[in-house]
Structure 1
Amino acid sequence: MAVLEHALLHVREGREAEFEAAVAEARPLIEASPGFVSFEIRRPTATGHAYLLLVKWRSVADHRDGFRQSDRYQQWRALLHPFYDPMPEVSYFGESL
């Protein structure tokens, strides 16, 4: 059973282009993680709205205990977390109906 990680990424206004460049740099870090299945970030359709992050993992543990405890996550965090205000909350969802 795969799980879907969901987060709304509130990027500081005026830093969207920098954020998108940082995502391109950070993407291989998450893709190299055991249990990773797919990755998607959707742009907001209106200014000042959050980006939507969707990552599919084999399990919650692959994200929480694998990626988040890795050196790759520390690099991911250094690249992307400076853009967020506030910090995103992560939710997990099971299989589709």
Structure 2
Amino acid sequence: MILEVAQLPVKAGEEAAFEAAFAKAEKIISAQPGYLSHELVRGADANNGSHYVLLVRWETVAAHQEGFRGSADYQTWRELLHKFYEPGIAVAHFATVAGALK
């Protein structure tokens, strides 16, 4: 299992619109081959309420990189969400070394 961690800096004041768009977009990602699960979390401190982190569990890095990002569905995902980010997103993949998410 691979964990994709995407840091999503949403433009201040656009949080509600972003969350509404994400409600549509999550149906796209959850239908992708190799997708396992996801979680969207929002900053809880006073100075980071516009910062979100998306955690997506994939079977492999390729399922995300070549599969989802290479699909027509990804273009729809981008159209729904990428207009909310400023300055841009940071994405990395991780493999479990110890412990496990519950």
Same fold (TM over 0.5): yes
| Identical aligned residues as a percent | 47
Superposition misfits of 4+ residues, deviation over 4 angstroms:
none
Question: 1:82 matched to which residue of 2?
Answer: 83
Q: Which has the higher helix share?
A: 1
Higher mean alpha-carbon deviation, 9-18 vs 37-46, is at 37-46
- What is the count of residue pairs matched by the alignment? 96
**What is the distance in 2 between the residues matched to 1:12 and 1:48?**
13
Question: 1:59 matched to which residue of 2?
Answer: 60
Gapped regions of structure 1 (runs ≥ 5)? none
CA RMSD of aligned residues (A): 1.0
**What is the distance in 1 between the residues matched to 2:69 and 2:46?**
30
Task: Give the TM-score, by structure 2 length.
Answer: 0.90
**What is the distance in 2 between the residues matched to 1:96 and 1:42?**
23
Gapped regions of structure 2 (runs ≥ 5)? none
Task: Give the TM-score, by structure 1 length.
Answer: 0.94
